[in-house]
């Protein structure tokens, strides 16, 4: 029942543009993003991100993974 609240805008394997929306969770929830092996994220664990604004990762960048503060 909850899964029906997820709307997917892209298919697996599609190339995406910067800021392109990939989907929507209608009732609000957590989202898991899986990156290819060797790609480091630009966000820290538990950091809030804003769809279409927050850069999660750059597949062509060599920058090391960022470590966020813990409260």
- The half-sphere exposure of 1 on its side-chain side, counting CA atoms within 13 A, is 0
Residues 41, 57: contact at Cβ < 8 Å? yes
Residues 24, 7: contact at Cβ < 8 Å? yes
Q: Work out the number of other CB atoms within 10 angstroms of the CB of residue 42.
A: 15
Q: List residues with catalytic annotation.
A: 29
């Amino acid at each position: 029942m909850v899964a029906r609240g997820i709307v997917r805008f892209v298919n697996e394997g599609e190339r995406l543009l910067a800021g392109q929306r990939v989907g929507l969770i209608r009732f609000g929830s957590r989202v898991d993003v899986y990156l290819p092996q060797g790609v480091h994220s630009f966000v820290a664990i538990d950091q809030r991100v804003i769809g279409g604004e927050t850069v999660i990762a750059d597949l062509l960048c060599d920058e090391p993974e960022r470590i966020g503060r813990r409260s």
